[in-house]
Amino acid sequence: MMQAVLWSVLKLLIVLTFILLNAMLLIWLERKVSAWIQLRLGPMRVGRPQGWAQSIADVLKLLFKEDIVPSRVDKVLFVLGPIIAFMPALMVWAVIPFGPNFVSADLNIGVLYIAAIGSIGLMSIFTGGWGSNNKWSLISAMRSAAQLFSYEVPLVLALIGVVMLAGSLSLTDIIRAQQETAWYILYQPLGFLVFLIAGIAEVNRTPFDLSEAESELVAGWHVEYSGLRWAMYFLAEYGNLLALSALAATLFLGGWTAPFGLDFIPPFVWFLLKTYLFVFVAMWIRWTFPRVRIDQLMDLSWKFLIPVALLNIALTGIGITIFS
Amino acid sequence: MSYVRNVANVVATLLVGLRVTLREWFSRSITLQYPEQRWELPRGYRGHPVLLSDEEGKTKCTACGLCVRACPTDVITVKGAKGEDGKRVATEWVLDMSRCIQCNLCVEACKFDALAMSDRYELACYRREDLLYDMDTLLELGRGDGVAAITVGDKL
């Protein structure tokens, strides 16, 4: 009993450290990838080689900055915003399996849990945007609400195809089901596409970063934030990206399953490789496409993604009926 | 049908964009790590004028004042005196780099080949007075110290 509790706590600590370190790594990686795509070098000076310590330096700087709470803000909401932002980014990891026996909590409704947790992210943006008492923050929060609300529908609809195939909502079971057949990206190309687009919109990344559109809204919902609070929003953004990538790897690429019988590489490494594959794809997309307009954003979700996701569910249903 | 064609078109153009960035991703960066790496200056790059010296390392300037007259921004101050051999020689030659426009007119005007344009471009300093280059400094620069190339350019 005692050992089980200790083991759970240890797993929790490992996962938390993993996410925080990875979020910092991702910030550095994003700067490097953007630089490479634009024929630049990116951070080079802080830490050699390749400026690896840049994120550490940034976080330290943000830690020591003055904690500014503007006088007319709603103090409770203002303080609460970044904390709520960080929560879903961490909580998603509870159900994501890192390896065969390494999952913090193997819920039998894992997929449902992730869908529910994901919608908390909207709360943080709205809390911060409303509490800041700033017109840009508010516009950004409103946009964000419309955006996240619209994209949650296709995201969850895309997950349904996977759940239908696996016959389970538990992520571990979904991975096991993929081991028995094949990776679901092969069975669910449409579902995967919808998941990828809706997922990128869910984590507020370019081309769907209307809520922080720098050119028109200054910085969006975090205009009034600085120092550590801002850093928390920023880390949460990358935590969310990592969580989304891990989810995509788990649901569509077989999670920690080793492909082509390459079993000598541990499952944890495979899981990381697949996760980072999606991270790179998300960055690649970010530094390729310009931001969409708000009406285009809505059109894409309601007129394209949702019909396609529904079609995917119908096709999956027909396929299952015919082949089983 | 037009809806499907539209979607296909969108996907195709998105892929074109992704291909472009992927190509750039794996091509060489054009950034120069400045203090360590430096530009190769184009031939004939014109910085500010420096003083040339003869074989004995003395200035060729005779303080005739042609460069002073030629200078459009009036940045050159020259004072001369009779030397030991009875010829006039410059004793003071000051270039006010804060106003020099690096136009080459002083070099064109000089009849004694005492002036040339250098390719020195790092002129930053902390005080305005540091921009007054005196004769010793300019002679030093003219001997090629900290200067990669000296161009005399066209003469009048």
Cross-chain Cβ contact B22/A38 below 8 Å: no
Give the model's pLDDT for residue B126.
92
Cross-chain Cβ contact B29/A288 below 8 Å: no
Nearest-Cα residue of chain A relative to residue B6: A304
Domain range summary for chain A, segments of one domain joined by +: 2-323
Please tell me the distance from the alpha carbon of residue A180 to that of residue A172, in angstroms, as a whole number.
13
- Residue-wise pLDDT tens digits, A230-266: 888 888 888 888 888 988 988 888 878 777 767 777 8
Q: Which two tokens stand for residue A53?
A: 């310590």
Please tell me the distance from the alpha carbon of residue B152 to that of residue A243, in angstroms, as a whole number.
65
Give the model's pLDDT for residue A81.
85
Cross-chain Cβ contact A39/B24 below 8 Å: yes
CA torsion sign for A186, A189, A195, A196 is positive
Residue A5 contacts B where some CB pair is shorter than 8 Å: no
Quote ipTM for the complex: 0.72
| Stated pTM of the model | 0.78
Residue A288 contacts B where some CB pair is shorter than 8 Å: yes
- Residue-wise pLDDT tens digits, A244-254: 898 898 888 88
Q: Is the pLDDT of residue A106 over 80?
A: no
The SS3 assignment for A37 reads helix
Closest CA of chain B from A284, distance in Å: 7
| Chain B residues touching residue A29 (CB < 8 angstroms) | none
Q: Which of A77, A79, A85, A83 is nearest to A67 (CA)?
A: A79
pLDDT mean across residues, chain A: 85
Of A33, A39, A288, Cβ closest to residue B30 = A39
In single-letter form, the type of residue at position A182 comes to A
| Chain B residues touching residue A281 (CB < 8 angstroms) | none
Close Cβ partners of A117 (under 8 Å, ≥ 6 residues apart): A88, A91, A92
Please tell me the distance from the alpha carbon of residue B37 to that of residue A260, in angstroms, as a whole number.
46
Cross-chain Cβ contact B29/A41 below 8 Å: yes
Name the residue with tokens 């997309």.
Answer: A285
Cross-chain Cβ contact B24/A41 below 8 Å: no
Q: What is the dihedral of CA A118, A120, A126, A129, to 10 degrees?
A: -80
- C-beta neighbour count of B27 within 10 angstroms: 11
DSSP letters, B29-93, are P----TTTS---PPTT----EEE-B-TTS-B------HHHHH-SS--EEEEEEE-TTS-EEEEEE
Please tell me the distance from the alpha carbon of residue B142 to that of residue B138, in angstroms, as a whole number.
6
Using 50, 70 and 90 to split pLDDT, how confident is the model at A298? Answer: confident
